[in-house]
């Protein structure tokens, strides 16, 4: 029998607001343990939460971009459970009146466009972090992350393969990044996804028993977990066994999962409306204000790049994978007036550098003005492309100003024929065999001599001029 | 003249007029505490040095001509569930016995900024859960009028301190009657403000949608003056109403001036407030108070209120449900009591030990009640139904207060019971809240005024309930009543 995999995703993203959701502590990742805390986010007796409205703004942006209906009187609930990383022993979350419902995202699959339903979007606070100290054999709590705002985006079970799930995740991530609501860094935990998986015989209309998979820390791991879980479930069915509804934990090293808790031990969170927070009245005016300030989304940018700047579908696609890339590209293209060159540098050197340094594109130091200057200098013939690449690296590594660097290091191309002629004469005199070879029709000799002159001139010779003059000299020799 | 017999406004006036200095007043109160608190046991913590230093500082500021509140230099006490920076705030619980808050509650902050002198922290039922001040880990506070009687609760320490002259006034908190009922039992005046009038920031939560900080003092005028200082919007509490929707401080301050009148006020007297179990002397005294107000020019008419009896069940479901979450943070991990030197099997066992040992039986009972009410399968039948009854109650009171300016009735069915009787029958104890819980469920302000004594000389209180944020009318009525009567001027022989 052949089976169909049914997947739903619960994506948690940390919002990149400056302060936490219910207090004014900063949200910056890292920092000495327990330094970004106050009585509110550490749940001291008598402290009260006060909602950071920026969180609501960000949530509205996300709802608008995912076509969700926005709940006019949205409200927070308390989700009760005991755990040492949760200082109030309840998480302020949303159950009864989440901010958004009934949205969707369109993804491009091999079979064409597909609409993936968004069941709901809700706001909540993050918990702290437990750090085990193996020396003292004790567990320490860092409350810095407590109260960092989260959005949970719950999809409908509309995904049918690991590939689709990953396309959906990439699409969602790029939207969230372009909206400016989250940096979505899985390695820092600012994007986390739990996966619900079930299988059913192809053609069946009823859902199979689903399991929930947690603890995947990369998109790759999510894909592998889905494939492995679907296989595990199919194997059970084929063996005549039943699938238990349970939560499972993915073990990346073992490439397999194990059961964490079954449905029977599912916790009763005793949700109830948080009396400390009043309902939020999201007026049509508020929604319009957010809508009018909404950043341009990747699809629209891609279309613009193709139409206005004649980029290829591929180039435009890569340039819109991340807002930092798209923004740098657009600014550079505009400043230099050479969008094609800007695209070429972005797709080539810039992406290469990001890959080599294994960092997010926004972490690379590359001011648009510097890149635009560099592009202009190549076009003007001030430096050649090879020298420009070196300067590009200097900008990245040492934050140099390209013009100043060119001057300080005397990198201007030598396009003075007299200076070149002198050097050519020197090189020809020193390499008599090459002339013989050249005359014998060995074109390699020409290349060798160009290299020699270039080296002697520290790479600053205008290559075109050098070629002409050298050929001239050889023909006359 | 003994300083401790003065009202807060009287003493404030004398301090402002340089008749008495702030340190002098503070010393007098500290002496009184030394003389009587061994019997009353109103305080959990007294801070003589800090109080005297504070008084000296206030005196200096007054001498420098600084403009402070009318009650500047007046020594007072704060209930021990209201956070005070650097001063332990125990909530009467073993759980927080050594807990020292790093910040002040907004209400405390506003009084201290206005020049209040803090004498210490007063006893209460553990986490404000009770109406007798018998469940505190710090021991039982006694009623200054009869040492074998309870002072009421949960702000029993605050009420007893004011009655005994150990504090000129005190802050309390009221979740189901915790200011008004002990005020009634101890013969002092207590005001529960409208929900949202005073910031709850720093008040250790019991039932968040019901809790409100308010004053206990010798007079209604004192209560008005204190409320004017602590009320108002607070950016740290989203349930504290913003300016414009909060109470009118100017009207409130006007209502404490002498020469007020109740002429033309319409007062409703709900038949349901005089039901079964009402002590005859309480009925007589409350009816006499209503007659007195009629004589002073108010119109008093009978009326009806819905769901008065159902109010108790509604209150205990909502308060305990909220409490079950509010008190979950006391788990022994970050602060508070933690079992030491004992083995525990796992995290759940650790929590169980910390919470079983850290909390007293009444707190545990209420946490379990509330946990049950919110549990899957019971939520609709208990918690949700309670919310619906609360809505109906709110409608009923709103309707009554559209026809009347105030409602009048008893604060509690009886005068102060003997120590030990309530704890032996907790359910009976819960029923004593019948006339007070409605003001919390509806959010309306309530004022408790001394209006007589029973046959054995225990004080009786009358309760006035007003419109939301119309504390001015409540206080004005209290001031007028107290100008015509002398019950609030009686003090216990200690
Ligand atoms: Zn904080």
Q: For A224-233, what is each residue's pLDDT tens digit?
A: 999 999 999 9
Given a contact cutoff of 8 angstroms between Cβ atoms, the answer to whether B222 and B169 are in contact is yes
In the beta sheet, which residues pair with residue A74? A280
- Does the pLDDT value for residue A294 go beyond 80? yes
How much is the average pLDDT of A2-29?
A: 96
Given a contact cutoff of 8 angstroms between Cβ atoms, the answer to whether B11 and B74 are in contact is yes
Q: What is the pLDDT of residue A357?
A: 85
Please state the φ and ψ torsions of residue A246, each to the nearest 5 degrees: -160, 170
Q: What is the pLDDT of residue A438?
A: 84
Q: What percent of chain B has pLDDT over 90?
A: 93
Q: What is the pLDDT of residue A444?
A: 81
In angstroms, the first-to-last Cα distance of chain B is: 16
Kindly name the residue from B93, B154, B158, B184 that is annotated as catalytic.
B154
Q: What is the pLDDT of residue B343?
A: 83
In the beta sheet, which residues pair with residue B325? none
Report CA(A23)–ligand 1 centroid distance (Å).
5
- Residue A357 CA to chain centroid, in angstroms? 15
Measured CB to CB, residues of chain B less than 8 Å from chain A are 81-83, 89, 91, 96, 99, 101-103, 105, 200-205, 207-209, 235-239, 321-322, 324-325, 328-329, 331, 333-335, 347-348, 351, 371, 374-376, 379, 383
Q: Which of B166, B151, B148 is nearest to B77 (CA)?
A: B166
Q: What percent of chain A has pLDDT over 70?
A: 100
Question: Is the ipTM reported for this complex over the cut 0.90?
Answer: yes
Please state the φ and ψ torsions of residue A315, each to the nearest 5 degrees: -60, -50
Q: What is the pLDDT of residue B211?
A: 98
- Does the pLDDT value for residue A467 go beyond 90? no
Under the banding of pLDDT at 50, 70 and 90, the label for residue B29 is very high
Residue A99 to residue A101: CA distance in whole angstroms? 7
Report the phi/psi class of residue A325: left, alpha or beta, with left for phi > 0 and alpha for psi in -120 to 50.
alpha
Q: What is the pLDDT of residue B194?
A: 98
Residues in chain B: 494
Kindly tell me the sign of the dihedral angle through the C-alpha atoms of A299, A303, A305, A311. Answer: positive
Q: Is A319 exposed, middle or buried (0-12, 13-18, 19+ CB in 10 A)?
A: buried
- Does the pLDDT value for residue B4 go beyond 80? yes
Classify residue B82 by its DSSP letter: B
Q: What is the pLDDT of residue A473?
A: 84
Residues in chain A: 477
Q: Does A46 contact B237 at a Cβ distance shorter than 8 Å?
A: no
pLDDT in tens, B50-109: 999 999 999 999 999 999 999 999 999 999 999 999 999 999 999 999 999 999 999 999
How much is the average pLDDT of B159-180?
A: 98
Given a contact cutoff of 8 angstroms between Cβ atoms, the answer to whether B304 and B271 are in contact is yes
- When scoring B78, B198, B201 by the number of chain A Cβ atoms within 10 A, the one with the most, hence best to mutate, is B201
pLDDT in tens, A379-400: 888 888 888 999 999 999 999 9
Query: Residue B186: enclosing H or E segment and its boundaries?
Result: helix B180-186
- Given CATH 3.40.190.10, say whether it is the number of domain B3-268+403-489: no
Please state the φ and ψ torsions of residue A237, each to the nearest 5 degrees: -65, -45
- Does the pLDDT value for residue A413 go beyond 90? no
Under the banding of pLDDT at 50, 70 and 90, the label for residue B182 is very high
Contacts of A272 in chain B (CB under 8 A): 321-322, 325, 374, 379, 383
DSSP structure string for B93-105: -GGGTT---SS--
Residue A390 to residue A379: CA distance in whole angstroms? 16
Q: What is the pLDDT of residue A409?
A: 85
Residue B405 to residue B301: CA distance in whole angstroms? 11
Under the banding of pLDDT at 50, 70 and 90, the label for residue B209 is very high
CB-hemisphere CA count at 13 Å for A120? 12
Kindly name the residue from B14, B41, B79, B218 that is annotated as catalytic.
B79
Q: Which of A284-293, A453-462, B155-164 has the lowest mean pLDDT?
A: A453-462
Q: Does A82 contact B347 at a Cβ distance shorter than 8 Å?
A: yes
B184: annotated active-site residue: no
Residue B265 to residue B404: CA distance in whole angstroms? 8
Fold of A417-476: Arc Repressor Mutant, subunit A (1.10.10)
Residues with CB under 5 A from ligand 1 (ion): A 23, 25, 38, 40-41
Classify residue A350 by its DSSP letter: I
The DSSP bridge pattern shows strands B169-173 and B213-217 to be: antiparallel
- Does the pLDDT value for residue A98 go beyond 90? yes
Please state the φ and ψ torsions of residue B65, each to the nearest 5 degrees: 80, 15
pLDDT in tens, B329-376: 999 999 999 987 678 889 999 999 999 999 999 999 999 999 999 999
Q: Which of A186-190, A207-211, B198-202 has the lowest mean pLDDT?
A: A186-190
Q: What is the pLDDT of residue B427?
A: 84
Spatial CB neighbours of B269, under 8 Å, sequence gap ≥ 6: B290, B300, B301, B302, B303, B407, B408, B409
Q: What is the pLDDT of residue B463?
A: 98
Given a contact cutoff of 8 angstroms between Cβ atoms, the answer to whether A411 and A383 are in contact is yes
pLDDT in tens, A241-282: 999 999 999 998 898 999 988 877 778 999 999 999 999 999
Compute the nearest-CA separation of B481 from chain A (Å).
36
Contacts of B203 in chain A (CB under 8 A): 46
In the beta sheet, which residues pair with residue B446? B192, B465
Give buried/exposed letters for B125-141 (b at 16+ CB in 10 A, else e): bbbbbbbbbbbbbbebb
How much is the average pLDDT of A412-417?
A: 74
DSSP structure string for B265-324: -EEEEEGGGG-TT--HHHHHHHHHHHHHHHHTT-EEEEE--S-TTHHHHHHHHHHHHHHH
Two tokens, residue A453:
């002159």
The DSSP bridge pattern shows strands A90-93 and A3-14 to be: unpaired
Classify residue A361 by its DSSP letter: G
Two tokens, residue B245:
């929707």
Q: What is the pLDDT of residue A466?
A: 83
Residue with tokens 């608008």: A64
How much is the average pLDDT of B300-327?
A: 96
Q: What is the pLDDT of residue A111?
A: 87
Residue B357 to residue B335: CA distance in whole angstroms? 15
Q: Which of B250, B165, B67, B158 is nearest to B448 (CA)?
A: B158
- Residue A343 CA to chain centroid, in angstroms? 19
Q: What is the pLDDT of residue A432?
A: 84
Q: Which of B305-309, B415-419, B448-452, B453-457 has the lowest mean pLDDT?
A: B305-309
Q: For chain A, give the mean pLDDT.
A: 92
Q: Which of A88-92, A448-452, B196-200 has the lowest mean pLDDT?
A: A448-452
Q: Does A89 contact B329 at a Cβ distance shorter than 8 Å?
A: yes
Residue A258 to residue A256: CA distance in whole angstroms? 7
- Does the pLDDT value for residue A236 go beyond 80? yes
Under the banding of pLDDT at 50, 70 and 90, the label for residue B210 is very high
pLDDT in tens, B387-441: 999 999 999 999 999 999 999 999 999 999 999 999 888 888 899 999 999 999 9
Q: For chain B, give the mean pLDDT.
A: 96
Report the residue of chain A nearest B102, measured CA to CA.
A39
Q: What is the pLDDT of residue A407?
A: 86
Q: What is the pLDDT of residue A188?
A: 85
Q: Does A270 contact B82 at a Cβ distance shorter than 8 Å?
A: no
| Residue B269 CA: distances (Å) to CA of A49, B290, B291, B366, B485 | 39, 8, 11, 32, 20
Residue B288 to residue A85: CA distance in whole angstroms? 58
Residue B72 to residue B116: CA distance in whole angstroms? 5
| Residue B221 CA: distances (Å) to CA of B4, B7, B152, B160, B488 | 17, 9, 23, 19, 12
Highest mean pLDDT out of A347-351, A435-439, A461-465, B209-213: B209-213
Given a contact cutoff of 8 angstroms between Cβ atoms, the answer to whether A196 and A212 are in contact is yes
The DSSP bridge pattern shows strands A211-214 and A246-251 to be: parallel
Residue A316 to residue A41: CA distance in whole angstroms? 43
How much is the average pLDDT of A201-212?
A: 94
Residue with tokens 């972490």: A363
Domain ranges of chain A: 3-286, 296-408, 417-476
Under the banding of pLDDT at 50, 70 and 90, the label for residue A457 is confident
Q: What is the pLDDT of residue A10?
A: 97
Q: What is the pLDDT of residue A31?
A: 87
Q: What is the pLDDT of residue A144?
A: 96
How much is the average pLDDT of B436-452?
A: 98
Q: Does A45 contact B82 at a Cβ distance shorter than 8 Å?
A: no
B324: annotated active-site residue: no
- Residue B89 CA to chain centroid, in angstroms? 17
How much is the average pLDDT of B176-193?
A: 98
- Does the pLDDT value for residue B267 go beyond 80? yes
Given a contact cutoff of 8 angstroms between Cβ atoms, the answer to whether A319 and A311 are in contact is yes
ω into B154 cis (within 30 of 0): yes
Residue A173 to residue A169: CA distance in whole angstroms? 6
């Amino acid at each position: 029998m052949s089976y169909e995999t049914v997947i739903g995703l619960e994506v948690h993203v940390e919002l990149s607001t400056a302060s936490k959701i219910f207090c004014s502590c900063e949200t910056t990742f890292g920092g000495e343990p327990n330094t970004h805390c106050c009585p509110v986010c550490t749940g001291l007796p008598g402290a009260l939460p006060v909602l950071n409205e920026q969180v609501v703004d960000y949530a509205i942006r996300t709802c608008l971009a995912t076509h969700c209906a926005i709940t006019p009187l949205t409200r927070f609930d308390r989700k009760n459970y005991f755990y040492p990383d949760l200082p109030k022993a309840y998480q302020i979350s949303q159950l009864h009146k989440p901010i958004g419902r009934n949205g969707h995202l369109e993804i491009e699959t091999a079979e064409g466009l597909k609409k993936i339903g968004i069941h709901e979007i809700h706001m909540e606070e993050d918990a702290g972090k437990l750090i085990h100290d193996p020396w003292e054999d004790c567990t320490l709590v860092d409350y810095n992350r407590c109260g960092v705002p989260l959005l949970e985006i719950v999809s409908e079970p509309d995904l049918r393969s690991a590939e689709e799930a990953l396309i959906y995740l990439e699409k969602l991530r790029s939207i969230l990044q372009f909206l400016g609501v989250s940096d979505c860094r899985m390695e820092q935990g600012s994007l986390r996804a739990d996966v619900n998986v079930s299988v059913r015989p192809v053609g069946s209309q009823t859902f199979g028993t689903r399991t929930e998979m947690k603890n995947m820390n990369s998109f790759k791991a999510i894909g592998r977990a889905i494939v492995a879980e679907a296989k595990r479930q199919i194997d059970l069915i084929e063996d005549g066994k039943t699938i238990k509804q349970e939560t499972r934990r993915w073990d990346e090293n073992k490439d397999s999962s194990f059961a964490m808790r079954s449905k029977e031990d599912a916790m009763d969170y005793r949700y109830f409306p948080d009396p400390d927070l009043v309902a939020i009245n999201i007026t049509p005016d508020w929604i319009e204000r957010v809508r009018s300030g909404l950043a341009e989304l990747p699809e629209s940018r891609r279309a613009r790049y193709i139409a206005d700047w004649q980029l290829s579908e591929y180039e435009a696609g890569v340039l819109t994978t991340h807002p930092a890339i798209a923004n740098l590209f657009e600014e550079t293209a505009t400043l230099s007036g050479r969008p094609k060159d800007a695209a070429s540098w972005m797709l080539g050197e810039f992406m290469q550098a990001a890959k080599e340094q294994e960092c997010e594109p926004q972490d690379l130091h590359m001011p648009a003005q510097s890149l635009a200057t560099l592009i202009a200098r190549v076009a003007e013939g001030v430096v050649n492309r090879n020298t420009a690449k070196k300067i590009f690296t200097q900008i990245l590594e040492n934050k140099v100003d390209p013009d100043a660097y060119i001057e300080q290091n005397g990198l201007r191309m030598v396009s003075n024929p007299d200076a070149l002629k002198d050097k050519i004469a020197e090189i020809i005199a020193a390499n008599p065999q090459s002339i013989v070879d050249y005359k014998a029709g060995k074109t390699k000799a020409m290349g060798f001599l160009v290299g020699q002159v270039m080296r002697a001139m520290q790479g600053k010779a205008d290559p075109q001029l050098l070629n002409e003059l050298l050929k001239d000299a050889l023909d006359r020799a | 003249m003994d300083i401790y017999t003065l009202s807060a406004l009287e003493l404030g006036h004398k301090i402002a007029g340089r008749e008495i200095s702030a340190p002098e007043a503070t010393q007098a109160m500290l002496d009184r505490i030394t003389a009587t608190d061994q019997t009353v046991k109103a305080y959990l913590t007294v801070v003589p040095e800090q109080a005297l230093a504070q008084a000296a500082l206030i005196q200096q500021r007054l001498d420098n001509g600084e403009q402070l509140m009318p009650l500047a230099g007046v020594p007072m006490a704060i209930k021990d569930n209201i956070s005070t920076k650097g001063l332990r705030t125990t909530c009467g619980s073993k759980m927080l016995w050594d807990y020292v808050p790093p910040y002040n509650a907004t209400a405390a902050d506003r009084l201290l900024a206005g020049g209040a002198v803090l004498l210490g922290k007063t006893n209460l039922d553990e986490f404000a859960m009770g109406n007798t001040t018998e469940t505190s880990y710090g021991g039982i506070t006694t009623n200054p009028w009869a040492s074998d009687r309870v002072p009421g609760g949960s702000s029993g320490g605050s009420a007893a301190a004011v009655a005994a002259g150990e504090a000129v006034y005190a802050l309390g908190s009221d979740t189901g009657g915790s200011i008004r009922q002990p005020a009634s039992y101890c013969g002092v005046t207590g005001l529960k403000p409208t929900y949202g009038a005073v910031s709850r920031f720093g008040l250790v939560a019991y039932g968040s949608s019901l809790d409100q900080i308010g004053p206990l003092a010798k007079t209604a005028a004192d209560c008005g003056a204190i409320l004017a200082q602590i009320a108002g919007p607070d950016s740290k509490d989203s349930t504290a109403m913003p300016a414009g929707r909060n109470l009118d401080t100017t009207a409130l301050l006007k209502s404490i001036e002498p020469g007020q009148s109740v002429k033309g006020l319409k007062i409703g007297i709900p038949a349901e407030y005089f039901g079964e179990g009402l002590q005859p002397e309480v009925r007589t005294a409350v009816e006499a108070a209503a007659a007195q107000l009629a004589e002073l020019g108010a119109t008093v008419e009978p009326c009806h209120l819905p769901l008065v009896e159902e109010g108790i069940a509604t209150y205990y479901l909502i308060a305990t449900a909220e409490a079950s979450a509010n008190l979950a943070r006391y788990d022994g991990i970050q602060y508070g009591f933690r079992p030491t030197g004992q083995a525990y099997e796992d995290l759940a066992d650790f929590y169980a030990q910390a919470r079983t040992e850290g909390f007293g039986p009444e707190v545990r009972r209420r946490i379990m009640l509330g946990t049950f009410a919110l549990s899957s399968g019971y939520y609709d039948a208990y918690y949700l139904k309670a919310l619906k009854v609360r809505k109906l109650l709110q409608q009923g009171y709103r309707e009554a207060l559209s026809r009347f300016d105030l409602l009048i009735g008893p604060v509690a069915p009886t005068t102060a019971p003997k120590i030990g009787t309530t704890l032996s029958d907790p359910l009976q104890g819960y029923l004593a809240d019948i006339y007070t819980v409605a003001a919390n469920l509806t959010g309306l302000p309530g004022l408790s005024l001394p209006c007589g004594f029973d046959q054995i000389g225990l004080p009786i209180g009358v309760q006035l309930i007003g419109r939301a944020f119309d504390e001015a009318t409540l206080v004005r009525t209290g001031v007028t009543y107290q100008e015509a009567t002398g019950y609030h001027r009686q003090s216990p022989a200690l």
